[in-house]
Structure 1
Amino acid sequence: MKYIIMFLFLLVLISCSSTISTSKKEYQISEKSKLEKDWKYDPKEWTLENQSLNGTGSPEHWAGITSKKDLPENYEITFEINLTSGNLFEVMLNFEGQNYIRTYLYNIDQNIFIGRGIYDKNSDEYGKRGGPTILKKPFDFSSNVWHKVKIQVQNKQLQFIVDENTSLVCSLEKQNLSQKGKIGFLTNGKVQMKNLKIKTL
């Protein structure tokens, strides 16, 4: 009986946690009910099918989804993405208010980027989404190809790695980037995402 009570207490602590991930467990989206409970999104733009998170946006309206809980201070995010149309897929890091860190892949410029972002979910006006670039590196970002993404923030250092061999690194403090907040995803086309894992480091 004592172990059952302890287990239930731990479950309550995890569910009441202010972060989307704990050191004891990786966060994953595996069920529609979990998506609905943990994320803010328009169900016309984001769906979960066969454990694949699918987003549908357009150049005029970027489809956005954001977590309801904050990322931990130090974290690792891994997933695979396939952009089937459009040219932009973006991970919003430490999203707070309207500001966030941009980590994104852009197939017109064929680069990966780290930048400073702004996102107003109620406006599609130019200047109310995206933002200036801080770092970029050439990358063959092909459509209809699965790419592996890994993002780490540890000791205020951000590392953004794509397909295990293209990476960008920057200091949150030196670049005056947001150091806390939620995670989100943006696309101006159609994207599939699978094997999303978020864990505390």
Structure 2
Amino acid sequence: MIKQISITLIFLLVLSSCSSTISTSKKEYTLQHSKELKSDWEINSKEWILKNDTLIGNGSLSPWGVLVSKKQLPKNYEIDLKVNMTKESLFEIMLNLDKGKYIRTYLYQIDQNIVIGDGVYDKKDDSYGKRGGKTLFKKPMELENNKWYSVKIKVVNNQLYFSVNDKITLECSLEKSSLNQKGKLGFITNGDVKITDLRIITL
């Protein structure tokens, strides 16, 4: 009996370590160590680093600074983070990146909006039309450099909720908007950005 339990525990540990989803066996993922960044994310160290529990991104108008996970997001999930755009105008969270398409959820200082959009991403091509995409939904919000914002994203039963500071909220149906229902997570900046308290939970 004890031997059987031990074998079962070993099997579960192997399963969780080989999991193809970004969440852990505890249904929660946090980013705190450089080894996790290297093992779980496709990273260009000139664009993104992890320093003192803070994820720091550096990009430009061309190329953008892009960081993409190696693992799939769960079907139902919640993402929490705090972000500070220290330079330039765009911070974007890529959702359900799959086969060159993704859901754009971003803060955009030039238009002073938070946005949900339909995006395309070609990691080999920075040219216009190969990254970014059209706006589907937006709401005005006053956005500034060197200010921290709390971002929460929830996807439940193909319904997306995107809120900033628990004040401004956008939502949409992935199915009705013809948006990806599965894929990976990523971050984009066209300047300098800091991210702390990143937490991804399987719902």
Q: State TM-score, norm by structure 1.
A: 0.96
Question: Does 2:120 match 1:118?
Answer: yes
Question: Does 2:77 match 1:75?
Answer: yes
Corresponding residue for 2:174? Answer: 172
Q: 5 Å matches for 1:1-201?
A: 6-22=8-24, 24-201=26-203
Q: Distance in 2 between matches of 1:134 and 1:188?
A: 21
Query: Aligned with 1:12: secondary structure?
Result: helix
Q: Distance in 2 between matches of 1:104 and 1:167?
A: 12
Q: Distance in 2 between matches of 1:11 and 1:36?
A: 21
Code of the aligned partner of 1:144: N
Query: Aligned with 1:132: secondary structure?
Result: strand
Q: Percent identity?
A: 55
Q: Residue 23 of structure 1 contacts residue 199 of structure 1 at CA under 8 Å; is this kept in 2?
A: no
Q: Distance in 2 between matches of 1:11 and 1:141?
A: 44
Q: Distance in 2 between matches of 1:33 and 1:22?
A: 15
Q: CA deviation at 1:122?
A: 1.3
Query: Aligned with 1:14: secondary structure?
Result: helix
Code of the aligned partner of 2:182: K
Gaps of 5+ in 1: none
Q: Write the deviation string for residues 146-172 of structure 1: whole angstroms up to 9, x where unpaired.
A: 000000000110000001110000000
Q: State TM-score, norm by structure 2.
A: 0.95
Q: Distance in 1 between matches of 2:25 and 2:43?
A: 26
Q: Residue 88 of structure 1 contacts residue 105 of structure 1 at CA under 8 Å; is this kept in 2?
A: yes
RMSD: 1.3
Q: Distance in 1 between matches of 2:9 and 2:89?
A: 46
Code of the aligned partner of 1:38: D
Code of the aligned partner of 2:50: L
- Mean Cα displacement is larger for which, 9-18 or 176-185? 9-18
Q: CA deviation at 1:10?
A: 2.8
Q: Distance in 2 between matches of 1:194 and 1:104?
A: 16
Q: Residue 16 of structure 2 contacts residue 25 of structure 2 at CA under 8 Å; is this kept in 1?
A: no
Q: Structure 1 pair 16/23, CA: closer, same or farther in 2 (3 Å)?
A: closer
- Mean Cα displacement is larger for which, 181-190 or 13-22? 13-22
- Mean Cα displacement is larger for which, 121-130 or 184-193? 121-130
Q: Residue 23 of structure 1 contacts residue 200 of structure 1 at CA under 8 Å; is this kept in 2?
A: no
